[in-house]
Structure 1
Amino acid sequence: MELKFQEKINKIDDCPANNESGDKNLYRFILSVPMNSDSFKPHSLIYKPKFDNICIAWGLSTYDSLKSANEALQNLPKKTREKFTAIAVSKITDEDGIKYSTKNKKHYTFFPKKEVNLLTKFVLVNQDGE
């Protein structure tokens, strides 16, 4: 399975560390509506080279529920929180890439496969979770 940014990921030992199998709905903060590719850039590209050698910085930060995503969004500093305009959701399968729960069990890092089109994979949700 080739992941997006595979050449960078290969330079980090034990990256990604593990994979949770099975389908999982994952939620992500979105920068603009309509969505564009900027909403799916990993921290390693946004803050380069600061996070080049940090494994999870090459994956996408996601959450296990709309409630968890909203709570995390509210905990961000105000200036950071104001950058985001919506939340999107996707049913992530084993065929889409690698997903694993971080220390905060509500947060997942998702490493998408190279060929996955994230703009069509994720859809906007309203605040009722639909």
Structure 2
Amino acid sequence: MKATGTIEVKSWDEKTWDGRSYQEVEGRKLTEAHVQFTYAGDVSGVGSCRYLMYYGDDVAWTTAIEEVATDAGTLVLRHVGAYRSSVEAVIEVVDGTGKYLNARGAVTVDWAQDGSGTYTLEYEV
């Protein structure tokens, strides 16, 4: 199955592992971000995501788990990626409930600078 639509960052709350704002700490650091996404289109709902990140000299490495809640059920996504001058990520569908029970597949997102983007979700149930 294939689904397409738009995605937008609804909120982003990121802190270092010791609780400080990530913007207060210079250089290398470990952070956790609680992020909410809004999905519209073939899959419509809210994604709740937890990122763990490591900021190196010129790259931020990321890993995350996200649950996308829709009227038809939930999708569970696993993110692995990096941010240099743009987002580089592999996003896997690892499970789901309702219509998406036992879903497996992949998501690609084309992000704009303003935190909005378009997604393509390909999955099997």
TM-score by shorter chain over 0.5: no
Kindly indicate whether structure 1 or structure 2 has the higher relative contact order, using CA contacts under 8 Å at least 6 residues apart: 1
Structure with more of its chain in strand, by fraction? 2
Structure with more of its chain in helix, by fraction? 1
Greater Rg over alpha carbons, structure: 2
**TM-score normalised to structure 1 length:** 0.29
